[in-house]
Amino acid sequence: MREAKRTTRMTNYASRDMRYEERTMLPILRVLMIEDSEDDAALLIRILKKSGYEPETQRVQTAADMTSALFDRPWDILLCDYHLPGFGALDAIAILKKTNLDIPLIIVSGAIGEETALDCIHRGASDYIMKGNLPRLGLAVKRELENKDMRVKRKQNEEALRVSEEKYRTILESIGEGYYEADLTGNFTFFNDALCRIWGYPKDELMGMNNRTYTDPETAKKLYEAHRKVYETGMPGKLFDYEIINKDHTKRVVQSSFTLLRDTGGQAIGFRGIVRDITELTLMDIERQKSLVQVSKSLEATIHAMAVTMESRDPYTAGHQKRVADLAHAIAEEMEMEPSRIEGLVMASTIHDLGKISIPAEILTKPAKLTAIEYEIVKPHAQSGYDILKDIDFPWPIARIILEHHERIDGSGYPRHLKGNDILLESKILTVADVVEAMASHRPYRPSLGIESALDEIVRNRGVLYEPDIVDACLKLFKEKRFSISA
């Protein structure tokens, strides 16, 4: 019975910790503790939490348990007591070395002198912290994690360099891309088999051929200018796409990068380049663009059908979603949002009240103010709209925008009481557009309050309920650019 209560209590703690993590967004720190004292382990956890981490810990006391734990899951840091019964820090350092895992190990002990601590560092420990100076632990962990990140990036850079060198060797061995060398006038002096395949000429015909032979005059001029720039600046040429004419008079699209070719004395004697045949990729990209246009049109038609379906149940607010979408579009453009994101915002705005399809029509069209109970029936429409759309694979976060369009930056909105940056920018724009349009338009239970009242509302709550930049953009539209909400 006692064990069951303990399990329940631990579950409650875990649930509470999950909620705490979601609320505070503290970075997770995976800590393996080589420690025989439960109290000391708990103290270290508290110190780490005060230092801004959310520790996920496991405590081990033996060499076998440590070895097993090291491979059970990835760890960010090891905290090791110096003395454990039959096991100690030097043993832990030796075990970690054998694994070749890059995990910082910090000695945390109150029973060793500075000379012993330095010996541990010499053997492979990252740092040591005396238990009388535990507030330093957070800084030590932060520093070691940063050092580890630097080591990882250095290895990644080294690997990238190795891959680059391997790719260059592969090209020279005539595998994949074409490689060529040309003199200063553009005549081929050396090339590999891949280049012959791309150009469609045998080696004997391609040798000495000038670029004017396999390109049209306009392309030949562009190639000349690109190579001249490389010659004058000594800087590598940027990726350059152009058409070539094969021996059989068909055209191919190639992508080339090139640099100066110098002799042993550093004198420029020509150019060397790498060439890829991107003809198929170019055709595929053209088809992809056509498909994207078609998909976009289909999505627009689907969104429009949803909007019409919704408004057929609520004739008093017919056009509301369209007007909100127009205003949201204008605000987003004023804020210089990326066109692709604006497109998604407009789509979401056009059906932002889709969830009201689940609300009884008599409530939607009630010619009087809603009661508290009726309002509670209406509130879930944002969640309902999200549930309807969440499994549709839109190229934009439409379902989430709809879910969040009644959230407020101070957390007073619904359904999730999100705050600040937890809310999508698109959702915040839709929120302001929705409020302004709703107040400025007629409703079954009241006449229009007018655009000035609507603008007063967002000014009054600028920085409280509504994002300041969005409010400013909206005000600029109406005050300076004479934007109006079309009926």
Residue-wise pLDDT for 200-241, tens only, equals 999 899 999 998 899 999 999 999 999 999 999 988 888 888
Q: What is the pLDDT of residue 51?
A: 92
Partner residues linked to 77 by β-bridges:
31
pLDDT of res. 5:
43
Enumerate the CATH 3.40.50.2300 domain ranges in the chain, comma separated: 2-151
Q: ∠ CA(323), CA(327), CA(328), 5° rounding?
A: 115
CATH numeric code, 2-151? 3.40.50.2300
Tokens at residue 313, please?
A: 């149940």
Pick the CATH number of 283-479 from 1.20.1430.10, 3.30.70.1560, 1.10.3210.10, 1.10.3720.10: 1.10.3210.10
CATH 1.10.3210.10 occupies which residues in the chain? 283-479
φ, ψ of residue 434 in degrees (nearest 5): -65, -45
Q: Say which amino acid occupies 93.
A: I
Which residues sit opposite 253 in a β-bridge? Answer: 243
Whole-model pTM: value is 0.45
pLDDT, position 15: 46
Which secondary structure element, helix H or strand E, spans residue 290, and what is its range?
Answer: helix 279-313
Q: Are the C-beta atoms of 50 and 84 separated by less than 8 Å?
A: no
- Going 470 to 476 to 481 to 482, the CA torsion angle's sign is positive
- DSSP character string of 310-348: HHHH-GGGTTHHHHHHHHHHHHHHHTT--HHHHHHHHHH
User: Domain spanning 178-277: which CATH class is it, in words?
Assistant: alpha beta
Residue 131 tokens, joined: 């238990």
pLDDT at 162: 83
Tell me the two tokens of residue 8: 């329940």
| Angle ∠(131,137,143) on CA atoms, nearest 5 | 145
Tell me which amino acid residue 96 is.
L
Token pair of 91, please? 């043993």
According to the model, what pLDDT value does residue 115 have?
A: 83
Report the pLDDT value the prediction gives residue 487, as an integer from 0 to 100: 57
In sequence order, the 6+-apart residues with CB closer than 8 A to the CB of 467 are 409, 425, 428, 429, 432
Cβ–Cβ < 8 Å for 89, 79: no
- SS3 for 100-155 is CCCCCEEEEECCCCHHHHHHHHHHCCCEEEEHHHHHHHHHHHHHHHHHHHHHHHHH
Strand ranges (E), 127-246 = 127-130, 178-183, 188-191, 240-245
Q: What confidence score (pLDDT) does residue 22 get?
A: 46
What are the residue ranges of CATH 3.30.450.20 in the chain? 178-277
**What pLDDT is attached to residue 164?**
77
Q: Which regions of the chain are under pLDDT 50?
A: 1-23
Looking at residue 6, what is its pLDDT?
Answer: 43
CA 484 vs CA 170, 358, 444, 477: distances in Å: 62, 31, 22, 8
Residue 95's pLDDT is what?
Answer: 94
Q: What is the pLDDT of residues 78-90, one digit of tens each?
A: 999 998 888 989 9
